[in-house]
Chain A
Amino acid sequence: MTQHREREKSTAPPRPALSFGQKWRYAPAPEATDFVAIAPRHELFIAGDWSAPRSGRYFPTIEPATETPLSEVALGDEHDVDRAVAAARAALPAWSALPAEHRARYLYRIARVLLERAREFAVLETRDGGKPIRESRDVDVPLAAQHFFHHAGWADKLELAFAGRAVQPVGVVGQVIPWNFPLLMAAWKLAPALACGNTVVLKPAETTPLTALRLCEIFRDAELPPGVVNVVTGDGSTGAALVRHLGVDKVAFTGSTAVGKSIQTALAGSGKGLTLELGGKAAHVVFEDAAIDGAVEGVVRGIFFNQGHVCCAGSRLLVQEPIAELFVEKLRHRIERIRVGDPLDKNTDLGAINSKEQLARITALVTRGVDEGGTLVQSSCALPNKGFWFPPSFFTGVSQTDSVVREEIFGPVLTIQTFRTPDEAVEKANNTSYGLSAGIWTDKGARILWMAARLKAGVVWNNTFNRFDPGAPFGGFKESGFGREGGRQGLAAYAKCTGGLVQG
């Protein structure tokens, strides 16, 4: 699929060219894995204890970088979901009646133990999901702990979050999380729910259940009361059983737009609360006055972070015409220097694609992009023989009508388009069915504000990208979903407010 761009033949002397990696190669620097034992079999976590699925069925979870099985995991069905919801219901009265500062104490404890075991969680996350150890170590795990810390702080201050109103938990919450940030998404969902006094049934993604299950060990060590958090592993049918269960008061889902829509349909008229955090097709808007090398780094971070398996990934680059050629040239050099390979190597920048299915989807969309006339540029990096891999890639010569510009690829593939004026940039950036995030790259403060007011996206970053903070609400417009996670706004989905004159 690699297409080398042909240089125009001319009699001019060869242009100066850079060369990388011929003189000094880094020796492998693999993170140790021997200290992270993985049990051959994982059961469901219900009412504070491990329990076998009623069906007696298990499914394998593999290491996407090598395709070797790591463990087998219980396949929960309706009956198991029923047991988990019953356990959560039984735990609810005592948990929600607990003095708020006591709930906070549990959350602080979870956060601290998670940091103590950070290396173990980072290794497990990387093995099960394929992401580089650099990211799981520096982003996923610390940020997950930060979410527990942050919401521990809110637990006894909810009356301040919703000024003058009485706050009660919503009840039993069903949470279904995706495979791209397995531990971090568990923390995003669990921390605010627990802080507000809810009890939870969590369903991790089929391909990446191990870190959420290991988190249950921390819940036990922290002596979290049985039933407050239950984890039911399984496939799509398990998730469907959870969101449809009549004992669930509120559903929170992060995942694909197609599944999100089906959940919303299923929940219509049920009276259940719902928040959805779905897909995205975010635009980077790079103006000619941008700090160009910083913008190149930001665009790289925006699309190649976590192999592009990021709902808020900046997958569409809109660059102003005067610098378009230079910018593409810089990107072409830059993707050659992205280190692709063993996710456990501390120097790896881009790890394995999460699953065979996802690789097939990325490959199909990229093939369609080429068929539709786009010019594909890919890194010449070598890819390992085993496992699921896709090189850093971008398309030039594409426009708003192309599939690769319209559809979420969820892989390391960027599309590049140009614009002439700020209005045109806004129009193109908003011309998508999604609206999760956007990035503005300019040296001009007034233009940042002008753009941010017009971009229809839940998060707008300026001169940076993919920065997360538990205090900043995260969520989307349009088909990217509704509801916010993080910050005071994120608490709203897990709190029932009564009294008071002012709407929270």
Chain B
Amino acid sequence: MITPTDFRVPPVDAIALETRVAELATRSIKKDAKKKGLEMVVAMTDLTTLEGMDTPGKVKALCRKAWRPLAGHPELPSCAAVCVYPDLVGTAVESLRGSTVAVASVATAFPSGRAALDEKLADTRRAVAAGAGEIDMVIDRGAFLAGRYGQVFDEICRVKDACGEAHLKVILETGELRTYDNVRRACRIALLAGGDFLKTSTGKVTPASTMPVVMLMLEAVRDHYLETGRLVGVKAAGGIRAAKDALRYLVMVNETCGDHWLDARYFRFGASSLLNDVLMQWVRLRTGVYQRPEDFSKD
């Protein structure tokens, strides 16, 4: 059994990883496969607004969009969740009552994670109490980069406790971890600490989600499943704006982890502008022509 201070992981070869990703990016997704893929992307999207200027009005509009992404097309699935700051969870819960859309809240002093542990736990409990079904926490990158892996592990465990029934997504903020080896190790820590999802980024740091990093996470959750039987999800968040790119992520999921993960329970996109491009492509497949961007609601 692995002790909480032993987070050994296999090394990652950057060239091999990026070569595989580039190879999968050449997959040609057409016709029915494209339609199915786009519909999966919609169903896997955590429609997100995480701005200082967020208001109840903005969140309500976003919730309506997540519930029914395209007016007049009830056959399109709803998005997986709406992702907001803790103080707006109540508004989102209210707006989404009766839908299948979950409410996710960032917590733990998002996005920097620089606060005392008890404040992070209180932050989490408040969001859960307000009705958030999913908590997106950030790890302490300072502790991680200083080599205090045990501290990172303990903190995730504590937040997981504070979540209760709520699902815990662990944001690694891979743009700050910098190396693939660091990402792989952070995945290991989050998996052992009981995270329900590995999430790439806050969206506040560049680069946010990249394909090689998500590939690495997919390999980590796949290996963890084979080792323990526990299915953990992956959320690619930030920087994915084009439907074409989202389909490339899905190809990675399809050919790395397979069928179990082709499901909104185990793969998510954290995005805001992506959805409209997906909808535009989806409509084009049905009608053969592109609509104007103005034809899609901008909420």
Contacts and interface: CB of A to CB of B under 8 A. Distances in A.
25 contacts: A16-B225, A16-B226, A18-B260, A20-B254, A20-B258, A21-B259, A23-B263, A24-B37, A24-B259, A26-B27, A26-B29, A26-B33, A27-B33, A290-B10, A290-B13, A291-B12, A291-B13, A292-B10, A293-B12, A293-B17, A293-B219, A294-B17, A295-B13, A297-B19, A443-B11
Nearest to A17: B226
Interface centre among B10, B29, B222, B254 (most CB of A within 10 A): B10
Contacts of A346: 26-28
A291 B262 contact: no
Interface residues of A, number: 32
A290 B15 CA distance: 13
Given A18-B222, A24-B40, A294-B16, A29 B254 contact: no
A284 interface: no
Interface of B: 10-13, 15-17, 19-20, 26-34, 36-37, 40, 219, 222, 225-226, 228-229, 250, 254-255, 257-260, 262-263
Contact of B16 (A24, A297, A337): A297
A24 B35 CA distance: 11
Nearest to B29: A26
Interface of B is mostly: helix
B135 to A, nearest CB: 26
A62 B32 CA distance: 32
A134 B12 CA distance: 26
B29 A463 contact: no
Given A18-B226, A18-B257, A293-B16, A23 B262 contact: yes
B28 A19 contact: no
B10 A463 contact: no
A344 to B, nearest CB: 12
Contacts of A290: 10-11, 13
A21 B260 CA distance: 10
A16 B257 contact: no
A25 B37 CA distance: 10
Nearest to B19: A297
Q: Is the interface of A mostly helix, strand, loop or mixed?
A: loop
B248 to A, nearest CB: 13
A22 B11 contact: no
A21 B256 CA distance: 11
A347 interface: yes
Contacts of B260: 18-19
A136 B7 CA distance: 43
Contact of B259 (A19, A28, A291, A464): A19
Contacts of B225: 16, 18
Contacts of A293: 10, 12, 16-17, 219
Contacts of B257: 18
Given A27-B31, A293-B219, A464 B255 contact: no
A289 interface: yes
A295 B12 CA distance: 10
A27 B37 CA distance: 11
Given A25-B33, A27-B30, A293-B219, A20 B259 contact: yes
A24 B33 contact: yes
A289 B9 CA distance: 10
Nearest to A294: B16
Contacts of B222: 18
A427 interface: no
Contacts of A292: 10
A24 B250 contact: yes
B11 A19 contact: no
A289 B10 CA distance: 7
Contact of A291 (B10, B27, B228): B10
Contacts of B19: 297, 464
Contacts of B37: 24
Nearest to A336: B258
